[in-house]
Structure 1
Amino acid sequence: MTSITPRPYVRWALPALLALQLALLAGCSSQASSKCYAKALPTRGEGGLAWGASENIARHKSLEYCARYASRSGGTPDTCKVVLAQCK
């Protein structure tokens, strides 16, 4: 009599798929409150784009990111200015 042995991936396939689905849903749900965005650019170097619950939060975060990225890329972090800010 022959017995059928389940394949090794069958045991973890369903839990892995459920975990993936939950992770994707969690990632999407965090952006539901971030409907506003802002972009800040320095005169030289890389700028920063940020999302936030309000336009002011997005502006503040984009200025912080701009200063960080500008200094890393050899730019001028003190010259960062918000060039675009809006809410969807």
Structure 2
Amino acid sequence: MTRNIARRCSPWVLPSLLSLTFALTAGCSSKPPATRYATSTLGSACYAKAVPTAGEGGLAWGSSLSVARQKSMANCMRYASRSGGTPRTCQVVLAKCK
């Protein structure tokens, strides 16, 4: 029974499928890879960390030190109030640029 099934297939089916597969693969391989993730040069260069006397603090990135400080203070106040801390005691303890 295996012989009958093998005889029904034309001799050109396998080579044509292989050539079609190779043609599609060759067409896709010449394309440049798409960038899916932002590179490190596009990110913000400065960061700051603010912590309260009790509760959780906040870390933020910004284009300048002043922007990073403002964002980290806002994050510190938000997270400190959520965690049962003292949001009014937030202070920036670290601020750097790359």
TM-score by length of 2: 0.63
Distance of 2:72 and 2:97 partners within structure 1: 14
Amino acid at match of 1:45: G
Could you list the runs of 5+ residues in structure 1 that have no partner in the other structure? 5-13
Identity of aligned residues (%): 58
Distance 2:42 2:78 in 1: 24
Q: Which runs of 4+ in 1 moved over 6 A?
A: none
Q: Tell me which of 49, 67, 75 is aligned to 2:59.
A: 49
The equivalent residue for 1:38 is 48
Map residues 43-82 of structure 1 onto 2, 5 A cutoff: 43-82=53-92
What is the rounded CA distance, in whole Å, between the counterparts of 2:94 and 2:74 in structure 1?
A: 15
Q: 1:46-73 deviations in whole A, cap 9, x for unaligned? A: 0000000000000000000000100111
Q: Residue 51 of structure 1 aligns to which amino acid in structure 2?
A: W
Amino acid across the alignment from 1:76: T
- 1:83 is paired with a residue of what secondary structure? strand
Q: TM-score, normalised by structure 1?
A: 0.70
Number of residue pairs matched by the alignment: 76
Q: Distance in 2 between matches of 1:74 and 1:59?
A: 22
Q: Which residue of 2 aligns with 1:23?
A: 36
For residues 58 and 66 of structure 1, the distance between their equivalents in structure 2, rounded to whole angstroms, comes to 12
Structure ID, larger Rg = 2
| Cα offset, 1:23, TM superposition | 3.3
